Structure 1
Amino acid sequence: MSIKMRLLLSYLAMTFIPIVLFALIAATLASVYLKDLAGTGDREGMPAFWETSNKRDELIAGVKFMAQADPGRFTDSGFLKKTDEQLNELQAGLVVIINKEITYTSPYVDSTDLYNQLQKAQTNPDSNGWNDPKINDRFTMVKYDIIFSDHRTGTVYVLSDLMMFIKNFKKLFPLLILSLLIVIGLTNGILTYLVSRSLIKPLYALKHAASQIEDGDLGHEVNLNRKDEIGELGAAFEAMRVRLNESIRMQLQYEENRKELISNISHDLKTPITGIKACVEGIQDGIADTGPKRDKYVGMIAKKTEEMDQLIDELFLFSKLDLNRLPFNLEPTDLAAYLHDCVEELRLEPRMAGISVMFKFAGDGPVQVTADREKLRRVVMNIINNSLKYMDKAQKELRIELIDGQEEATVSIQDNGSGIEGAALPHIFERFYRAEPSRSTATGGSGLGLAIVKQIVEGQGGHVGAKSRIGEGTVIYFTLRKTGYGGEQL
């Protein structure tokens, strides 16, 4: 449920729940404070004071009937007393006036100057919101004129006690106001607490996670298990944490790799420098005292210098590739013709003497890819140089094969060397990785050759891979996107 819907429902609940609770409380209080006006009440579902009012109306109707049908009964003291007692039970009383003289007054309504008050109420009625005229602060009245058989006239008054209702309502009203305030306060307080708790608790979780990240602890997962806006915020926060954790992990890995690079480069540079230093000292000490010896020492210095130059060039190239600062000069290239020319040049190189170099391509037409020709040659030569280091057979072979796929072309370079262990094979393209570090002194290299291959190929939209069997050799392959299938059309 969204926060917007949750807040809307809470506003509706804050409106309707207090109304319902107040109605129940008001009904309960009314039944408690008004029950004295009617005793127990016999009519099911009817409040007590309504029953009292109805009984009194019935009795007053009986008085009216007797005033019209048998007015002489109002001179009978027994009848008047009995009727008055019944009215007294219902908070009312009877007053009879004959020939402007009060002949009967109920003890319930006995009051001084009652006659004048009754006359005044008749001439200047003030109902004060009630249906019957009010004669003072306590009573309202109904009157019925009577005519006796001897032509005397009179009036029958039924006075109803107003104060009983007013007193109870005066007690009830403050309680109703207090209960309304309590209901509104409790309802709004509880709902506000529940809604705010559902919002504040996950925010505190996010705050705690942010504090942990600030302290450098990125290992704790942020999982709010919500499907609202805060849940989306938590998911975004968790994604940020994961990416930040991964970024820091990669940064630490890069730092470790760079430390390893410095160590490897220092080691690999020290070897030729030590050789150069030994040759120079030999010349200075007069050990190379003949022309052939001096030529030999100078040749060794030149060879070691070339090794250092190649090592530095390789490091410089990898640094540019690693920082994405080396531009690619992509152009349309017939990969089949390009590889054919590379194989022909390899066969002419002196270092390839005694090595069988074969090229296989099942097609008979051009294979158009978009590639950087110079860097593509670096890829091929790095793979071949890596293969040459580990050829241990008497008959050394290199097989270069081109496979023309529908969307990409695959180039594989296979040797018949010693092969690579299965556990090491997935890592040979990683930066500075060496499957057998112990061989580095004998074979040379910084461990960057295949990492450079991976960087160049992926920079042109391809990918690399390797397969190997111990004792049989290794196949290293790479792919390039064909023009029109993701390769750049120039």
Structure 2
Amino acid sequence: MKRLRKLKPRTLNKQIVALSCLILAIILIVVGILQYFLMKDFLYQNEADAMQSQLHSLPPALLEQNDNMHQPLLFDRSLARIDTSGNYTEISEENGLSSPRLSQEELHKYMNSRDDKSARYIVMEDEDGKEQLVVIVADRRFGEINGYLQAGTETASINDVIKGQLQVFILLAIVALAAGILLYTRVIKKALDPLHRIIRKVERTSAENLSERMDEDSEQIEIKRLTVAFNQMVERIDSSFQSEREAKEQMQQFIADASHELRTPLTSIHGFLEVLLRGAADNPAQLYPALESMLKESKRIKKLVEDLLLLTKLDQAEDMHLQELKVSPVLEEMKPHFDMLAGSRKVRFSVDDNLTIAADKDKLKQVLLNLFYNAVQHTDPEQGEIGIILGESEHAAEIIVKDNGSGIPEAHLSHVFDRFYRSDSSRARKQGGAGLGLSISHSIIKAHNGTIEVESEEGKGTIFRVLLPKKRRNP
């Protein structure tokens, strides 16, 4: 088996050539076998028909027991007269052929009459062991068989003709097979050229070279399907590498930003502790302000850690406790908190009392609080106006939070939901923000199978629009 495997062609080109030649050889062998048997039957039948015609042309007197009758000229054939009892009388003995003996049953089975267009014949051996083709005709007089004439000829000469034809066929088959190998090699090599080009292209493809694509314009359907599949595969791999690179960059940025956010309050706490250890702890005028500052920074750290944990849970697709919920009562519960955060700013509400959605109440409150707090941060304490609108479109419930604040520069709009992103980092840090509020809101709304959009014009204000699947109103 191992030796056979070593002999097996390893290239597709050679395998196809080998299989094609094998199929051609099998076809030639089958054709040769069919040719042998068909030609043999054809020549035997022709010879039998010729002998039958000769026997029918012999004078009826041959059937009579007359020794003075001249023997007919049948050349190299055997000829015998058979009476109704099955007794043989040789008529032509000088040619050296003796007539094979048939039984009565065989005589009746292979007997030919003048009406038979194709002669029935039998191949059998004579007393000398020579194979003969035998034909029998009957003499019918007044409806009765009076005797038989049997003629035979050696099959050796016919077989020699058949063998000669078979040798010619074998020679031609060998030539055809050799020509087939040459033609198959050239034709199949040319047919596989597109595949070889694809192989060379695949060999050149690497992680640093995923932007190139193959030409999909091919007349061969299989090659076209292969190039399309390859391009789609490279596209998916390129997309995966790109996503991996982006995820890696985001992770690095996330770690850097988180470390930076944690380092600032920790540095502040560390500084206050050093001051206290140097003696400020004995001075109440320095002690209590330091403790208050450390408490403030520790709350900031706690809030940052809680936000990071929440984002991690949302990333892990933690199940929301969704329930049928009217939005207006939730908003009513939060009004005191909104008023406290707004200060002197004007807050306007436009509420659809029947707006019902499937939502997690606590998470929805957090989204509203984050959006409202973001609006407070970016509006003037005296001239600021904040609006909260509850409504619905054809397919979704809408929660809109808008303000007349400073707005967001167009260059920053695509990043407002990124983690730790702040369009005005100095002011956000001064107010204690870490740039996670909008990112958390985006993750929560996404977990609700909703979307959150932002529209803003610098100097004119910002609009955040939350779209959530709505429930049908009760009639």
Among candidates 25, 32, 38, match of residue 25 of structure 1: 32
Aligned equivalent of 2:375? 387
Question: Does the residue aligned with 1:274 lie in a helix, a strand or coil?
Answer: helix
Comparing 281-290 with 54-63, greater Cα deviation is found at 281-290
1:29/1:172 contact within 8 Å kept: no
Distance in 1 (CA, whole Å) between partners of 2:163 and 2:267 is: 110
User: Residue 440 of structure 1: CA displacement?
Assistant: 5.3
Aligned equivalent of 2:8? none
Distance in 2 (CA, whole Å) between partners of 1:339 and 1:405 is: 19
Question: Does the residue aligned with 1:354 lie in a helix, a strand or coil?
Answer: coil
| Paired AA for residue 334 in structure 1 | K
Comparing 312-321 with 426-435, greater Cα deviation is found at 426-435
Among candidates 323, 329, 333, match of residue 316 of structure 2: 323
The reply to whether residue 137 of structure 1 matches residue 137 of structure 2 is no
Distance in 1 (CA, whole Å) between partners of 2:323 and 2:402 is: 27
Distance in 2 (CA, whole Å) between partners of 1:290 and 1:103 is: 156
Deviations 1:335-382 (A, max 9, x none): 1232234234322x1x53232222123x4x443334333222211121
2:358/2:469 contact within 8 Å kept: yes
Distance in 2 (CA, whole Å) between partners of 1:310 and 1:67 is: 132
Unaligned runs of 5+ in 2: 1-23, 82-88, 111-120, 140-146, 175-194
Distance in 2 (CA, whole Å) between partners of 1:384 and 1:126 is: 116
- CA, structure 1 residues 390+144, in 2 after alignment: closer, same or farther (shift >3 Å)? closer
- CA, structure 1 residues 72+428, in 2 after alignment: closer, same or farther (shift >3 Å)? same
Distance in 1 (CA, whole Å) between partners of 2:29 and 2:272 is: 106
Aligned equivalent of 1:92? 77
Alignment of 1:43-442 (within 5 A): 47-65=42-60, 67=62, 74=69, 83-84=72-73, 87-88=74-75, 91-92=76-77, 107=94, 109-110=95-96, 130=122, 134=126, 136-138=128-130, 160-164=152-156, 167-168=159-160, 254=247, 256-285=249-278, 292=285, 294-325=287-318, 328-347=320-339, 349=340, 351-361=341-351, 363=352, 365-391=353-379, 395-405=383-393, 408-435=396-423, 441-442=429-430
2:450/2:468 contact within 8 Å kept: yes
| Paired AA for residue 321 in structure 1 | L
Deviations 1:15-52 (A, max 9, x none): xx9998667434644688x6xxxxxxxxxxx9455444
1:268/1:445 contact within 8 Å kept: no
1:333/1:369 contact within 8 Å kept: yes
For the aligned residue pairs, the C-alpha RMSD in angstroms reads: 5.8
Distance in 1 (CA, whole Å) between partners of 2:123 and 2:301 is: 119
Comparing 126-135 with 312-321, greater Cα deviation is found at 126-135
- CA, structure 1 residues 378+167, in 2 after alignment: closer, same or farther (shift >3 Å)? closer
Question: Does the residue aligned with 2:379 lie in a helix, a strand or coil?
Answer: coil
2:122/2:135 contact within 8 Å kept: no
Distance in 1 (CA, whole Å) between partners of 2:424 and 2:356 is: 38
**Structure (1 or 2) with the larger CA radius of gyration:** 1
Question: Does the residue aligned with 1:410 lie in a helix, a strand or coil?
Answer: strand
Distance in 2 (CA, whole Å) between partners of 1:62 and 1:171 is: 32
User: Residue 405 of structure 1: CA displacement?
Assistant: 4.4
| Paired AA for residue 446 in structure 2 | E
Count of aligned pairs: 388
Distance in 1 (CA, whole Å) between partners of 2:246 and 2:366 is: 26
Among candidates 471, 475, 482, match of residue 470 of structure 2: 482
| Paired AA for residue 368 in structure 2 | V
Percent identity between matched residues is 22
User: Residue 165 of structure 1: CA displacement?
Assistant: 5.7
- CA, structure 1 residues 300+432, in 2 after alignment: closer, same or farther (shift >3 Å)? closer
Deviations 1:240-283 (A, max 9, x none): 99989877876665554443333212211222223333344445
1:414/1:473 contact within 8 Å kept: yes
Question: Does the residue aligned with 2:348 lie in a helix, a strand or coil?
Answer: strand
Unaligned runs of 5+ in 1: 1-16, 35-45, 97-101, 112-116, 146-154, 183-201
Distance in 1 (CA, whole Å) between partners of 2:323 and 2:210 is: 45
1:66/1:73 contact within 8 Å kept: no
User: Residue 311 of structure 1: CA displacement?
Assistant: 1.8
2:371/2:464 contact within 8 Å kept: yes
Aligned equivalent of 1:448? 436
User: Residue 444 of structure 1: CA displacement?
Assistant: 4.1
User: Residue 475 of structure 1: CA displacement?
Assistant: 0.9
Distance in 1 (CA, whole Å) between partners of 2:137 and 2:407 is: 127
- CA, structure 1 residues 383+165, in 2 after alignment: closer, same or farther (shift >3 Å)? same
| Paired AA for residue 356 in structure 1 | K
- CA, structure 1 residues 157+386, in 2 after alignment: closer, same or farther (shift >3 Å)? closer
Comparing 421-430 with 242-251, greater Cα deviation is found at 242-251
Aligned equivalent of 1:462? 450
Distance in 2 (CA, whole Å) between partners of 1:27 and 1:400 is: 94
Distance in 1 (CA, whole Å) between partners of 2:429 and 2:286 is: 26
